[in-house]
Homo-oligomer: A and B are copies of this chain.
């Protein structure tokens, strides 16, 4: 069976076709330009696969995913030029008479990691997936389902206790200043130090400050959701950085609740090379087909 995946990012689109074992059969990438051009390329790509049984889209946002909304399937009030109020699902439905699933990029990644964990025989019903890159966002699965009565989560914009050595930094979020994204997104390295993150060694204190904030984000979802695991992906994250995050997490949590082995609780993605969303899309497309 052929299943389609669209990972719609603000910088690039990754379209892929896979099977019900979540193996990629074909894949393409192109830059995100105008909605018309980018969605036309998406349509043209999938037209090469007339046997396609279902498609799942994991999109940058904010998006409307409440099925009772007239704007269901739209990218809504994104600051990305030209993309606000784009009927993404509607455009694909014009050309494809197959079930189409629609969710956020981070929900797609969360689902991919959830499916993979299950394949690896982890007995879990919940999971949170954070991406820390140009921006910060997270998707969550609770009791096996996505969450959000009033829309999808926006976990990147919570406030945090400020690090004592970072009190002068105002943060870079245009909406909130020093929310999580404003304090730990990739561009904060340059805003704080004038240097890019990849040029700053992990021994530099700025990485401890980053870890302090990311650990607090992990504590917030731990105490609010009690997920089975928290996965961190995105360009800022490495195993060495997560070591620092785990150390601060333990110190801040102070054993207040049991999360088991923290090395297995705060983890890198099981799917390598940022492929979690594609696996998630295949699984969600299959689920939508079987519905």
- Interface of A with B (CB < 8 Å)? 62, 124-126, 140, 142-143, 145, 147-162, 175-176, 178, 216, 219-221, 223-228, 252, 254, 256-260
The answer on a CB contact under 8 Å between B147 and A142 is yes
CB-contact partner of A224 in B62, B145, B220, B259, under 8 A: B220
Smallest CB separation, A180 vs chain B (Å)? 9
The answer on a CB contact under 8 Å between A259 and B154 is no
Smallest CB separation, A223 vs chain B (Å)? 5
CB-contact partner of A227 in B140, B149, B162, B216, under 8 A: B149
Known: A142-B143, A160-B161, A162-B162. 19 other contacts (CB 8 A): A62-B257, A126-B147, A140-B224, A143-B143, A143-B145, A147-B226, A149-B227, A151-B226, A152-B226, A153-B224, A154-B256, A155-B223, A156-B223, A157-B256, A158-B219, A158-B220, A158-B224, A159-B160, A220-B224
The answer on a CB contact under 8 Å between A159 and B219 is yes
- The 8 nearest A-B residue pairs measured at CB: A148-B226, A159-B161, A149-B228, A126-B149, A154-B223, A150-B226, A175-B254, A158-B220
List chain B residues, Cβ under 8 A from A125: 149
List chain B residues, Cβ under 8 A from A220: 158-159, 220, 224
Q: How many copies does the complex hold?
A: 2
The answer on a CB contact under 8 Å between A224 and B227 is no
Q: Which residue of B lies closest to A225 (CB)?
A: B147
Bound: A172/B101 CA distance, A: 48
The answer on a CB contact under 8 Å between A216 and B159 is yes
Bound: A210/B270 CA distance, A: 42
Knowing A224-B221, A224-B224, the reply to whether A258 touches B157 (Cβ < 8 A) is no
List chain B residues, Cβ under 8 A from A142: 142-143, 147
Q: Which residue of B lies closest to A145 (CB)?
A: B143
Bound: A162/B166 CA distance, A: 13
CB-contact partner of A252 in B149, B154, B160, B176, under 8 A: B176
List chain B residues, Cβ under 8 A from A148: 225-226
The answer on a CB contact under 8 Å between B256 and A150 is no
The answer on a CB contact under 8 Å between A153 and B216 is no
Bound: A145/B144 CA distance, A: 11
The answer on a CB contact under 8 Å between A161 and B178 is yes
Bound: A223/B152 CA distance, A: 8
List chain B residues, Cβ under 8 A from A223: 153-158
Bound: A258/B148 CA distance, A: 12
Could you show 21 A-B contacts with beta carbons less than 8 Å apart? A126-B147, A142-B147, A143-B145, A148-B225, A150-B226, A150-B227, A150-B258, A150-B259, A151-B226, A152-B226, A153-B224, A154-B223, A156-B223, A159-B160, A159-B220, A160-B160, A160-B161, A161-B162, A161-B178, A175-B256, A224-B224
